[in-house]
Amino acid sequence: MGYVGLWLGDRAHGRASFGYWVVPGARGRGIATAAVRLASPWAFTTLGVARLEILVEPWNTGSIRVAEQAGFQREGLLRSYEEFKGRRTDLIMHARIIDDAAINPTSADKDRKDNKDGARRERS
Ligand SMILES: CC(C)(COP(=O)(O)OP(=O)(O)OC[C@H]1O[C@@H](n2cnc3c(N)ncnc32)[C@H](O)[C@@H]1OP(=O)(O)O)[C@@H](O)C(=O)NCCC(=O)NCCS
């Protein structure tokens, strides 16, 4: 189905970074968003980190939506942040800190459904 993973290289500084991937046939069903939402409180409590990060290339709209819907705030563009396949790439930093309000999956999912229903009504 896919994976969600946490990179712990900066754990000594209270930070961890998410990576995720979903098989093409299962995309668009909310799986990555649900996985990040579930893993975030676990990372704060069990791993004891204070800050969770998601770094996304600017073209990756799906991944940016996952970060936003999982309660991560967009903090800015990190220019020429790392080398990938022989060239420097920009990355957008998203972060959620332990003091951010907890996400209630039930109300977030309801908002999402209401927004989609509203958009459908506007189109028809
Ligand atoms: C990015 C990825 C993990 C998203 O997984 P997913 O389970 O399909 O994501 P969700 O279903 O939770 O989608 C969350 C939102 O992103 C949107 N979305 C997903 N893929 C999208 C795409 N390719 N383009 C635009 N929007 C997209 C969904 O419509 C949804 O938004 P909505 O609720 O407003 O409709 C998946 O596309 C993937 O594995 N991509 C390749 C690996 C990758 O890019 N990983 C992230 C590296 S930072």
CATH number at residue 25: 3.40.630.30
pLDDT the model gives residue 99: 87
**Residue carrying the six token digits 């957008």:** 92
Instruction: Tell me, yes or no, whether 124 lies in a domain.
Output: no
Q: Answer yes or no: is the C-beta of 66 below 6 A from any ligand 1 atom.
A: yes
pTM for this model (two decimals) = 0.85
For atom 31 of ligand 1, the residue with the nearest CA is: 65
Range of the domain at 62: 2-114
Pocket probe for ligand 1: among 1, 3, 27, 52, the residue whose CB has the most ligand atoms within 8 Å is 27
Nearest C-alpha neighbor of 1 from the set 25, 28, 17: 25
Query: Total structural domains in the chain?
Result: 1
Instruction: Tell me, yes or no, whether 119 lies in a domain.
Output: no
Residue 118 pLDDT level (bands cut at 50, 70, 90): very low
- Inter-residue contact 23 to 60 (CB < 8 Å): no
Residue range 39-52: average pLDDT? 95
Query: CA 44, CA 103: separation in Å to the nearest integer?
Result: 13
Query: CA 60, CA 22: separation in Å to the nearest integer?
Result: 14
